[in-house]
Amino acid sequence: MADKFLESKLKDGKVTVFVKGGCPYSRNAVDMLRQYNFAPGCLQVFDINESRDAQDYFQLCGGARTRSCRGMPRVFIGRHCIGGLSDLESVRCRLPAMLQQIGALR
């Protein structure tokens, strides 16, 4: 059930971030993304703090639970999962081009 809900949130022209409220890694990832000039509605943030099913689903999909935030955040560019905060930081120099390619920027 969690897989259908989570997959329904992914859209080709949007960046979707699944976060766990209170997680510093989640907060840092969202803060990093908010530095870009997104078109309206193209940055979606969903707090799955209360959804153990969703967190379990991400673990099964290759998002290992790490640190105290249990593998959060999970960042998707379009429908492609790039990973968590460290993965987002590793593509920082390519991120503007990636966001433009999916039409997420103004």
Q: What is the pLDDT of residue 72?
A: 82
Residue with tokens 């999909």, as numbered in its chain: 61
Residue 79 lies in a domain: yes
pLDDT one-digit tens code per residue, 46-69: 998 877 677 666 666 655 444 446
Q: What is the arithmetic mean of pLDDT over 62-81?
A: 72
Residue 106 lies in a domain: no
Q: What is the pLDDT of residue 69?
A: 63
d(CA 82, CA 74): 8
Residues 81/74, Cβ–Cβ less than 8 Å: yes
With 80 as the cut, is the pLDDT of residue 91 above it?
yes
Q: What is the pLDDT of residue 102?
A: 97
Nearest to 3 by CA among 55, 47, 42: 55
For a pLDDT cut of 70, what percent of the chain falls above it? 82
d(CA 14, CA 22): 24
Provide the CB-side half-sphere exposure for 76 (13 A, CA).
23
For a pLDDT cut of 90, what percent of the chain falls above it? 64
With 80 as the cut, is the pLDDT of residue 104 above it?
yes
CATH number at residue 95: 3.40.30.10
Average pLDDT, the chain: 86
pTM metric for this prediction: 0.86
If one counts the domains in the chain, the total is 1
Domain that holds residue 45: 2-101
